[in-house]
Each structure stands twice: as C-alpha cells, then as structure tokens.
Chains A and B, each alone.
Chain A
Amino acid sequence: MQQTTEITEATYKERIGKLQQAMKEFGLEAIVIESGAAMTYLTGVRWGRSERTFAVVLPAKGGPAWVLPGFEEMRARELIHVGENDIRVWQEDDSPYQRIVEALKDRGVTSGRIGIDESTRFFIFDGIRKLAPKIEYAGAQAALKAAGVDLTQGVGRGRGGR
C-alpha cells in the first residue's frame, strides 16, 4: 500500500501544527486518533483497522507519539515519517491503552480534556478511560474540522491480521 508521494513530511508537520492551534482554541490538551482518514491526512500513515490498536497521540504541545503492535514495528516504521522518534510498541500481552495513557502523561496530560476522533471504535476509548478516569473525553470533530482535516478518504482496511 503506497503512501502518497507528492505530500512531503513538511506538509504533514504543517497540518499537525494547524491542528495544535485548533486544540488550543477548543480547549483540548491532546487528540487521540486510531487508524483511519484523520490519521492518513495528518501523518500520511494509512493502516488497516483490526482488533489490534494502532494509534497516534497528538498533543497540543510537543510531538506525536505512536502506539502500535510490537510485531508490526518494522512494517510501521517504513510508513511513519512524522514522530518516528516516539514509537511505543505494545506486545501481544500488553495493554495498548496503557501505552496511550503513558504517552499522554509524558506530554504532561493527566487531566483536562482530550479529544477523540469520532470514528474511533468504542473499545479503544473504553480502554483508555478506564485507565485515565480523571481525563475528560470530548469529540475531536470540531477541532479537526477547524484545522481543515479531510475525513473523506475513508478507513484503510484489512492488513490487521494474525
């Protein structure tokens, strides 16, 4: 599955920067995004959804943090060009939600509001909120829209397996 080659790394950084501005406007400390249209638009990473959580944490301040399955790390590294210095893998018997909460904490987010992309599946949100009940979870759509995030590309499918 090829990434769009015409879009450069600088463009993705600019898009994320714009979203960070929007987060401030909408009072969000961070936005959590699982694979799908928003991830593709913001980072260029198109990854099929499966039962294994593959997510990027975009804080209002600081760089992105990736949370992905351990055995997919090599394949994921080929695709990730924004935030590649903070890739956090979870092994099969680890909790991906724990990794997400740790990433938030490392960016200074332990309370306040974070945004969840509305297409995120309930089990991922449910896993995060159980580990971080002090955080307030809000829909991220207004901020995504304000930042001009194109959500029409659909979810990359499959490739989840094993």
Chain B
Amino acid sequence: MNRRTFVVSAAAALVGRAAAQQAAAPLPEAIRNLKPMLDGIKPIADDERHARMEKARALMVENKLSAILCEGGTSLYYYTGSRHNGGMWMLPAKGDPVWFVPEGREAGTRLGEVRSYGEAEGPYKKVVQALKGAGRLGIEERARFAVFDGLRKEAPAMEFASADAVTIGCRAIKSPAELALMQRANDITIAAYQAALACLREGMTNRDLSGLISAAYRALGTQGAAMANFGKYSAFPHGSIQPQPLREGDIVLIDDGCTVEGYQSDITRTTVFGKPNKRQTEIWNLERKAQDAALAAAKPGATCESVDAAARKTIVDYGFGPGYKVPGLPHRTGHGIGLDGHEWTYLVKGNKTKLRPGMCFSDEPMIAIYGEFGIRLEDCFYVTEDGAKTFTKQSPAIDRPFG
C-alpha cells in the first residue's frame, strides 16, 4: 500500500509538529548514522525512452489508435522524462510527439513539435488540428473528463477511447534499468525501516515512528514516508488517525516506501514491541505462509488471479474469510508497482492477465482481525523466467523483521 501522499499533504500539520519535536530533541543515533544511498544510480536514458515510444506506436497500431494523449503524471514522465503540467503531450502512431503548451511556456522536452495555445482558446482545437480531425484518440487514464469533453466538442467525428492498452502494455514490463532503480528504492526503504525500528520505545506514538522513518529517508538521500500503526489499529488496512502510544506487547506495523528517479518502493514489516505472544506468532506465521504461497504461484504464464487465490487459500484453510470477509484478507493480494505506487496490473480475482517476465507486483495478503490486530508482510517482486524474485529478503520471523 501506499499512503505517502496522504502523509505528506493532508497530515502535513502533524508531520510538521513531529518534525518540530525532533528539531528540539536530537535524532536517535540509528537515524543520524545513516548515509545517502544514491551512489551510482543510473537514470533512465533517452535511448530507452525512444524505445518506449516505439513500443507505444506498435501498440497503437495493434489497438487501432491514431495517437495517445497525456495530460501529465506518470505516463507522461515514462515516455518523456518530463514532469510538465498545465499542458498536454500527444504521441501519434506515426510521426513525432507534439507538445501543447500555454503561450509563453516551454515544452517539457526538446523532442517533437510544440504548439502553443492562448488561454482563451484552450488546447483542444490545436489537438484536433494535429490529428486533422479524424481517427481514434487514446486518452491516458488519469486525464480529466474536461479533456475528453473539450475534444469531442471540437471534433464530433473523432472517436475517443482509453489509452490503457498502450500505456499499460509499455509500463507493466520493466526493463533491467527500471528494475535496478526499483531495487535501490527497496534497499533504501529497508535501511530506513531497520534504523527506525531500532528506535522503538515505550510511549512513543505511531506518528513519532512515522516521523523517524521520514527523517531516515532524508538522511538516506531520498524522500519517503510511512504509515505506522500499533496494537489493534494494525488491523485496519489504512490505519487510524487515533493517537497510539506504544505499549509492551503491541503489534507494530509500518508500511510505504520511497522514490528513486520516480520509481517507487512499497514495503510492510510487522513485528511486536517486546515479546510476541502465542496468538500473534501463530497469525504472523500464517501471514508468512500466505505470502510464500503467492510467490510460489507467481510463475510466468500463471494468471494474476491465481496468485491471489493461492495466498487466499492459505488464509481460508486456516479458518478465516472466506473471500474478503474478516477476520481474513479484506483486499486483493497485490498491486503492480513502478512509477506509481499502485499501477496496472493487479493480483486480484477476475484478472486473467498472465504473468510475464519483467512484471512487478507487491505481495501483501494481510490478515486483519478487527478488535485484535493485523499482520501484513509486504515485499515486492518481479517475474523472471524462473518465477518470482523478491527485491527484498522476506521477514524471517515475528521478532526478526529483516532477513
């Protein structure tokens, strides 16, 4: 899961307060000792981006699209390396890309043509002109309805469809360069978690722990955040905003990740502050078994839904569930991950997409027992010819979060 945007924006006040407290009290040694871990990273090269555009063009032909249109966000970044916003970018099946930017603004990259538009006229007429008012345009999934609405008014003869087949077709399969960046993001997150979990103390709040993880990421040279939940609040997939002072015997669950060159990590560790009891240990071991079952099922050619089914079966066989019922696994087993913390495609019932080498997923079949606690272990993996390979060493035991 991935809640860092929430932590960063909506709870900025809380984080700010935590930061202010930390400014007063020096950071624990475990955090202070961290050093940047970004040495030697290789950003995605232009050649790779050109290859992505070529693949997109082939997929457009296959899916009968004349072009795809992005408004901004991660698909735009994927193809162009630009975080440009406030305009649009079009990649035609034939020919160079086209930027549509407000007058007086520069395009996100030098590659391709630039067509500026006045604020009053808006970009839609220019987009339609570039396509000569005909054909079938694929709209990137997160573009606003306003884009579709503006275009169709200018070009009633054109057809507007989803660009998913193109964007997902490209983005779902990661290259070695992408895997290397994701590997680094995962390594950094493990280092941040190790340092932060070394600082657990009686009475600290879940927000204190989140603050320490953020501080760890800064020390490691990147940006990231984490949700932390203690005790019974660990049962809620997205935690709780209730203040949670840490007590002996509490479950401690931390989840989220960081970003390296736009690529995301997403890791969850669950442990106990103090000595785990029998029930906590038993459920933790079951969770690990479910996680293992998903990994074993994640072979090339297997369907996404079969991976979910394998993890879920382990949990249902124990007597939880069935389906999404709690106590049990209230959500899918995992999500795709890359430039977005959650992206296509998903390890969920009904998804018959077949796993292919290079696909990346989270494996997090949590066990939620409302009123008691929740256990979630989350490691991300990529599919190889030989099966799933995790970016991180799985947690070996409830009292040993790191392998």
Contact = CB atoms under 8 A, between A and B. Distances in A.
B342 interface: yes
Contacts of B332: 92, 162
Q: For this complex, into which size category does the number of interface residues on chain A fall?
A: 35 or more
Given A122-B141, A122-B144, A158 B8 contact: yes
Contacts of B10: 1, 46, 48, 156-159
B348 A116 contact: no
Contacts of A121: 141-145
Interface stretch (A21-29, A60-68, A69-77, A98-106): A69-77
A125 B147 CA distance: 12
A157 B6 contact: yes
Interface in A24-60: 46, 48, 50-51
Given A70-B330, A161-B342, A162-B331, A122 B5 contact: no
A4 to B, nearest CB: 13
Interface stretch (B76-84, B114-122, B233-241, B381-389): B233-241
Central interface residue in B145, B162, B241, by most chain A CB within 10 Å:
B145
Contacts of B215: none
B145 A72 contact: no
B3 interface: yes
A117 B236 CA distance: 31
A8 interface: no
A126 B330 contact: no
B4 interface: yes
Nearest to B140: A122
B331 A158 contact: no
Interface in A79-119: 91-93, 116-119
Interface string B1-20: 11111111111000000000
Interface of A: 1-2, 46, 48, 50-51, 69-72, 74-75, 91-93, 116-123, 125-126, 138-139, 141, 156-162
15 contacts: A74-B236, A92-B348, A93-B350, A118-B144, A121-B144, A121-B145, A123-B164, A126-B162, A139-B145, A157-B6, A158-B6, A158-B8, A159-B238, A161-B3, A162-B332
